[in-house]
Chain A
C-alpha cells in the first residue's frame, strides 16, 4: 500500500508501526505525549498507546537518557526524543559513558536497544543550539551507531529498523525537511538494511557524498551539473557509524573524484574520516584530492547569515569544478 507522506508523517507512521509490532517499545521526552512533540513527530501516539508507553518527562535530558538505560536493562526499547540538536548535551554524559559502553562492559549481557531521536541541522532561521549538526561527536564514540535519514521513505523504514536494532542508535532527522518534500511511501515494500549506504543518482564523472539534509542539495547539484554535461553520482551515506563505504569506494574507483558535503563544521567532521578512508582505499584511482564542502569552523552563526554558512548549490558546484579541474 502506498501513502503520500511528508518526512514528519513518515516518522510518525514508522514509530506507530514499531509500537504496534513490539509492546516493549516506549517513547519518552519533553512534550512528546499530549502535545505530540514540538515537531508533531509523536502526534497521536499517547492517545492510542497510553501514558505508560508515551511518556511526557520533566525537562531533564540527563535523567531522560539515564532512565532509558534502566528501562533497556529491564527489556524495554526506549525511543528518546531530544527536542533540538543542541539540547542533547545535558544528556551527553549518559549517552557516552553509559549507553555506549554498557554492552561492552557487561561482556554482552546487557544490550542497549535505545534510539535517540535528534532533529538536526539548520535552515529554519534559528540560532546555535536549534541548528547544530553534532553527528561526528556520536560517530566518534565507539559503542554508538549513528544514522541519518534524508527522505520520507527512508524515514519510515529506518526508524523502525533502528528501534528493532539491539544496539543504541542515534537517529538524526533533518528538521528542515520534516514538512517539506512529500513522497509515495510503500508500507509493504522490503527496505534495504539499515546500516547501508545507497546510490540515489548514478553518474560517471565525480562522486558526491551526502547524508541527511545535504542529500537533497547534492541531488539538485547533480541535476544542475548535468545541464553542463557533467555526470555526477550521488550517494546517500545513511549510516555514519558504522560507515558503509564499499559502494563509495566502488564509485570513486570509477569516477576518480569525490566531494563530501555536510552542514557540520569541516574540521574533524564526518568528511575528514571519509576522505581519509577513500584515499587509503582508492589512492591509485584518485585524480584529485577528496574535497569537503561543509559548515565553517565557527559556532552556528546568527540566522541572518546562515545561508552563507550552509553548503549551497554554488559551493557544491564550485568544489565539483575544482575537483574536475585538478
Chain B
C-alpha cells in the first residue's frame, strides 16, 4: 500500500484517533449520567472500522449496527452532531431521536443503524440493488458482528446479492464475542468461507488491527463491486477492549484478562503511529500534534453537545407519517 499518498495515511490515523477519543469520552459520559442508557464502543476495533470506511467513496452507502459510533466517524462525519445525538439533543444527527443505537449520519451515506442484530444487512443489499438498476457505481457496505453472522437474514441477503450480482460488501467485524458468547462456541466453520456457498469471494483479514490490511482487502472488494463484479464477504478479526456496553458488568469469566492484554499490546493506533514515523510519513512531533488536535475536536464536540438544547417533548409525535405528523390515533 505504499502507493497511498501521505495525507491519506495520516487521515487514517486521524480517524482512528477520533474514534478512540470520541468513544473514551462517551464511556465517561455514560458513567457520569450525561448520556442516558448505555453505549457500545469501538475501542480496539478502530483499524477495522477505518480500513473499511476509508475504502469507500463519499457517495457509497453503509449500514451499521449497535456498535456504530465508529462507522460515521470513519466515513468523515463531524463529531459535534454525533456527540449531541448520544446526549439526545436537538442538534444531533437524528435530532435526538436515534441515540447511540441509531447513530446514523445520513450525510455521509449512512443507511441507518439498527439495534436489532442483523436487521440492517438486507437494507444495504437493497441500496446495492438500486445502484445496480440505476447503474450509478455506488457501492453499499453492511457492517455486522460475528454474532449477527448467525442470523438468517444475512444469508437471505447474500443469496440475493449473489444471484443478482449486487455491488455490496458484507463486512463481518469479528471481535470474537457476541456479548458474553465466544464466537467459536456458536459458529460452525469459518464465517468467510460461507461466501463460497453463494458463489462470491470470501476474504478473511486475519490481522484486523492493521488498518492497511483491512483497507487493502476492502478496497479490492469495493473495486470489484464497482466494476460490476458483484458482492464480497469480508471477515475481519479484531477485538473490543471494553465491556460489551459501557456500565454493563458481565464479570470476567467469559474473557480472561491475559487475552485482553495481549490484544492491547498490539494496539492498532499505536502500531500505525509507529509505522508512520518509521516509514518517514510523519514525525513524532506531527503525530503528537495530531493527538492534540483530535482531543481538541472531541472537547469541542462535547461542548457542542452540552450547549445544544433538548428537543421539545412534542417531537416524539412528529414524523410518524408523511401526511399526518401527529399520527393516526393521537
Chain A interface residues (CB < 8 Å from chain B): 30-31, 34-35, 38, 56-60, 62-63, 86-87, 89-90, 124-130, 265-267, 296-299, 301-305, 308-309
Contacts and interface: CB of A to CB of B under 8 A. Distances in A.
A269 to B, nearest CB: 10
- The 9 residue pairs across chains A and B that have the minimum distance between CB atoms: A58-B150, A58-B186, A297-B329, A59-B147, A35-B180, A267-B329, A303-B36, A304-B88, A301-B316
Contact of B317 (A30, A296, A303): A296
B330 A34 contact: no
Nearest to A129: B115
A297 B328 contact: yes
Contacts of A57: 186
B289 to A, nearest CB: 37
Given A30-B179, A35-B180, A267-B329, 9 more contacts: A30-B178, A31-B179, A56-B181, A90-B116, A129-B115, A129-B116, A267-B328, A303-B36, A303-B37
A297 B324 CA distance: 13
A266 B186 contact: no
15 contacts: A31-B179, A35-B254, A38-B179, A38-B250, A57-B186, A59-B118, A59-B151, A63-B152, A127-B37, A130-B37, A130-B115, A267-B329, A301-B97, A301-B316, A303-B36
Interface in B285-309: none
Contacts of A130: 37, 115
A276 to B, nearest CB: 16
Given A57-B186, A59-B150, A301-B316, A266 B101 contact: no
A305 B251 CA distance: 31
A63 B181 CA distance: 17
Contact of B115 (A62, A128, A267, A303): A128
Contacts of B250: 35, 38
B7 interface: no
A63 B152 CA distance: 8
Given A34-B253, A90-B118, A298 B320 contact: yes
B187 interface: yes
B186 A304 contact: no
Interface residues on B, range: 35 or more
A308 B313 contact: yes
B18 interface: no
A89 B116 contact: yes
A304 B327 contact: no
A63 B153 CA distance: 12
A127 B187 contact: no
Nearest to A51: B185
B116 A86 contact: yes
A87 B327 CA distance: 25
A267 B329 CA distance: 7
Interface in B236-271: 248, 250-251, 253-254
Interface in B179-226: 179-181, 185-187
B182 to A, nearest CB: 9
Contacts of B116: 86-87, 89-90, 129
A144 B254 CA distance: 36
Nearest to A265: B329
B304 to A, nearest CB: 17
B71 interface: no
A305 B185 contact: no
B10 interface: no
